[in-house]
Structure 1
Amino acid sequence: MTRAELTASMSLRLGVLFALVALAVFALIGWALYVQVDNNLSDLPKAELQARYSVLEPALGRDGSPEHWARISNRLHLLANEDRRLQFWALSDDARFQLGQIDDNLRAGIDGQSGIIDLQLPGHCPQKVLISEFPALDQRPPMRFLIAIDTSTFKQARHALLVALGALGALGVVLASVLGYWVARIGLKPLRALSAEAQSLAPPRLSARLSGAAQPAELQQFVSAFNDALARVETAYSRLESFNADVAHELRSPLTNLIGQTQVALTRGRSAEHYFEVLQSNLEELERLRSIINDMLFLASADQGSKATRLVSTALAPEVATTLDYLDLILEEAQVSVQVQGDAEVRIETALWRRALINLLHNAVQHTPAGGVIEVNIERRDGEVILAVCNPGERIAEEHLASLFERFYRVDPSRNSSSAGNHGLGLAIVKAIAQMHGGSVFAESRDGLNRFGLVLKVDKSA
């Protein structure tokens, strides 16, 4: 497995997480167990000293004769020989009642001490010592009696416990990580199956979907979201294919005309007047090509998130009137009139807004019969400004309305333009301009009237 695979492996990551959790759990339990056992081990020397002393105390305090002390001394020597951990001392002014090797280090270590203390003599292991005082009795003067026990064995036991806990903890962490990785592999098996199924989805199989019926509940939501994304990709892919075909069609027609007219003109000598007509016709086709290219560049810029920046507060009714003056010749040729109703003020980029109005009105003129009246309605409602261009015309089927603002989309599947100036991008530009202003577009068709327009949000305080 490569480093990238190790980094990207969810199973490995889960295994590491299992190991970390196991490490934390084992460390906590091991620490608590060690503290408890250490406390118990620390109490054992003290308990053993007290037990030994409780047996010896009656004999030590019962008789003060040298003979009795000699018998006790022999008994203590036997105990020390049987259990090498034990050691006994007796300190007295009378040499007959002394026991053990008493040097200056021992005297300094117990000077002023009583009860149970820790003692470390040079050349000896650490010891715990019980110090008791016996008053004078018969021939015995006052005496200090010491019982010592070697604590190194208890420290060794603590060390062995610590090593055992560490080894068992490490083994537990390793087992937890291995088992965690194995469990994660089993748990992620449905996800790997989904991944393999998803890798098989590619054009032209975009209509296929992941099957989520047999998947765990945690993956069903992912499958649903992935299938929704596939549906959007399929729609976008279909639109892209249609867009490519439309672009090719729109560019091919003027190019074909240019090539055909030029070839005909070059077949034999022509008059200057004929060449002028050919050049004039070619110029019209070139203007059409430039218009298509400019519109496509504008839409590409809008797709990249361009926004209207030079916003000014503008009344819309005068803007419509200015646009109508620009379209006066087109309205006259089409023999249609325009009525403007209402007004509202909104922040817009004037040049873009006029371009959207021209496209909306031009679209309405193209589909309005001679003698018809186009209405431009402007109203402010619920914090929004709505501009609608309404023209009489044939009813547009419901399934077409949602797509009329798409590029190159026409209700007529033949894609033929109704005029040389119409290349199917007008309403798409209207939609782009609306989005650049943070607004939206709409299309309606009912009762013999078709309504196309824009909706812009405005500040309610304005």
Structure 2
Amino acid sequence: MLSHHKESEGTPPGDLAVVKKAGRVVAFQASAALALVLLLVGGVVFGVYVRTQRRQIDAELQSVAMVVDDTNDPPPGMELAIWETDGEISVSDGGQPGVPLLTGPSGFSDIRAEGRHFRALAVDRPEGRVVAMIDLAPYQAARNRLLISLAFAELTGIMASIAVVALFTRRSVRPLAQALALQRRFVADASHELRAPLTVLHTRAQMLAHRVGTADEDTVQKDVDALVADTRALGDIVDDLLASATMTAGRPPRDRVDLAAVGAAVRDSMASYANSLGVTLNYVCETPSGEGVFDVAGSAAALRRALTSLVDNALGHEHRGGTVELRVRRDGAKVLAAVADDGVGIDAETMATLFTRFSHGSEHTTREGRESYGIGLALVREIANAHGGDVTVTSTPGEGSTFTLTLPAAHRN
């Protein structure tokens, strides 16, 4: 439980970059698949259009070839050539390309002449052979317009699909990246915070193992007491780490919590420890108690951890013979829990990094032999923010400090 710490959180680890790269690969693959689908759909649409257009052309040619009597007034876009049974050949203006078909096989054909492309039909009738031709230029122009429209639609669809897929992929990968970041943060915190106390604990255990059977009872008892104290410190760190991970992972449970009852429980649990340091720990409920007066919405375990951290921090900066006071009160729509001490106070330079992870204060007056680890006050702020509140501090160097946890009161049912 720490009052002052330095920022030591590193840059995003390499595996986060791997997750992001994997997200980009998935986005590219999904976009390519969608683009292929769009191209396939576009190809099918164009193929159906061309097939329908060709059927329409053939139907028009058949209709005209079966009923036309002369070449004087062909339908718009068509040319005619007729070889009557008496051997006379007549053609419409521009119908000369159809003359060779008058002596060829009957049926549909495609011909090119004079830079023009025709679809032609030669039909044998009792009156003679009729060749009807339709200029394909307008139909080709319509196909080109459709191709341009499809290309524009395909390009727009592909770009939109890339944007949408990239957005949804990023959103889908983000929780994984955040979970991985939280995991890495927890591992980094645990590695940083547990290294020193585990080393001390291991050393004490080794010393105790060597002294058993050779040292006097008082020495062994002191080593055992020190070992117990170290395990308590280690337990505090683990509690802080777990609570920090819980607060970082999301909002706490939204239960109705009596903050006054939490404060009283913290006082009861910390009283013996305060006495061992020669410090008096008092608890005051400043507002008249009543049903739901001190209720807040959140996690009782997390709030207890926050108040425990504030009390522990105050005890660490208090002189022997001093007093730490935990006060809970109601102020309008807010419930406040303040922890005040008359210890060494906090200087202005330390105040700037007070709630930064892994910042270590130097003015610990009652913690001889107990290392400061740098999570406590950062954890308190995380808990406060997760509950929609805040934690503030006022301090005068040499005279003491007051930390105030402010939380919104729970709505009454």
Structure 2 length-normalised TM: 0.52
Query: % of aligned pairs identical?
Result: 16
> Which of 183, 187, 202 is the matching residue for 1:255?
202
Contact 1:360-1:427 within 8 A present in 2 as well: yes
Contact 1:395-1:446 within 8 A present in 2 as well: yes
Q: How is 1:320-335 mapped onto 2 (pairs within 5 angstroms)?
A: 320-330=263-273, 333-335=278-280
Alignment-mate amino acid for residue 45 of structure 1: A
- Relative contact order (C-alpha < 8 Å, sep 6+): which is higher? 2
Determine helix, strand or coil for the equivalent of 2:360. Answer: coil
Output the CA distance in 2 between the equivalents of 1:255 and 1:330: 24
Contact 1:441-1:452 within 8 A present in 2 as well: no
Determine helix, strand or coil for the equivalent of 2:253. Answer: coil
> Which of 390, 395, 415 is the matching residue for 2:346?
395
- How many Å apart are 1:49 and its aligned residue? 1.6
Deviations 1:204-226 (A, max 9, x none): xxxxxxxxxxxxxxxxxx9xxx9
Contact 1:341-1:378 within 8 A present in 2 as well: yes
Output the CA distance in 2 between the equivalents of 1:458 and 1:31: 73
Task: Please tell me whether residue 378 in structure 1 is matched to residue 329 in structure 2.
Answer: yes
Determine helix, strand or coil for the equivalent of 1:317. Answer: helix
Q: How is 1:434-445 mapped onto 2 (pairs within 5 angstroms)?
A: 434=384, 438-445=387-394
Identify the residue that residue 361 of structure 1 maps to in structure 2: 311
Task: Please tell me whether residue 409 in structure 1 is matched to residue 352 in structure 2.
Answer: no
Alignment-mate amino acid for residue 294 of structure 2: E
Task: Please tell me whether residue 342 in structure 1 is matched to residue 362 in structure 2.
Answer: no
Deviations 1:170-211 (A, max 9, x none): 9x79x969x97xx99xxx9xxxxxxxxxxxxxxxxxxxxxxx
Closer, same or farther in 2 for the Cα pair 1:24/1:390, shift >3 Å? farther
- How many Å apart are 1:373 and its aligned residue? 6.1
Closer, same or farther in 2 for the Cα pair 1:16/1:176, shift >3 Å? farther
Identify the residue that residue 69 of structure 2 maps to in structure 1: 49
Q: How is 1:75-154 mapped onto 2 (pairs within 5 angstroms)?
A: 77-78=85-86, 82=89, 150=130
Closer, same or farther in 2 for the Cα pair 1:10/1:355, shift >3 Å? closer
Identify the residue that residue 285 of structure 1 maps to in structure 2: 230
Output the CA distance in 1 between the equivalents of 2:354 and 2:127: 102
Alignment-mate amino acid for residue 362 of structure 1: D
Output the CA distance in 2 between the equivalents of 1:413 and 1:243: 24
Output the CA distance in 1 between the equivalents of 2:222 and 2:396: 46
Q: How is 1:444-459 mapped onto 2 (pairs within 5 angstroms)?
A: 444-445=393-394, 450-459=401-410
Indicate the larger mover: 439-448 or 235-244.
Answer: 235-244
- How many Å apart are 1:324 and its aligned residue? 3.0
Closer, same or farther in 2 for the Cα pair 1:31/1:77, shift >3 Å? closer
Output the CA distance in 1 between the equivalents of 2:151 and 2:299: 65
How many aligned positions are there?
Answer: 321
Identify the residue that residue 196 of structure 1 maps to in structure 2: none
Determine helix, strand or coil for the equivalent of 2:327. Answer: strand
Q: Highest Rg: 1 or 2?
A: 1
Output the CA distance in 2 between the equivalents of 1:260 and 1:331: 28
Output the CA distance in 1 between the equivalents of 2:185 and 2:300: 35
Alignment-mate amino acid for residue 308 of structure 1: P
Output the CA distance in 1 between the equivalents of 2:349 and 2:392: 10
Determine helix, strand or coil for the equivalent of 2:330. Answer: strand
Output the CA distance in 1 between the equivalents of 2:303 and 2:412: 23
Output the CA distance in 1 between the equivalents of 2:230 and 2:27: 58
Alignment-mate amino acid for residue 357 of structure 1: L
Alignment-mate amino acid for residue 247 of structure 1: L
- How many Å apart are 1:50 and its aligned residue? 5.5
Closer, same or farther in 2 for the Cα pair 1:340/1:42, shift >3 Å? same
Identify the residue that residue 3 of structure 2 maps to in structure 1: none
Deviations 1:234-264 (A, max 9, x none): x99899757633321222122222323433x
Identify the residue that residue 141 of structure 1 maps to in structure 2: none
Output the CA distance in 2 between the equivalents of 1:413 and 1:323: 24
Alignment-mate amino acid for residue 339 of structure 2: V
Contact 1:375-1:389 within 8 A present in 2 as well: yes
Contact 2:247-2:382 within 8 A present in 1 as well: yes
Identify the residue that residue 317 of structure 1 maps to in structure 2: 260
- How many Å apart are 1:274 and its aligned residue? 4.4
Identify the residue that residue 79 of structure 2 maps to in structure 1: none
Closer, same or farther in 2 for the Cα pair 1:386/1:47, shift >3 Å? farther
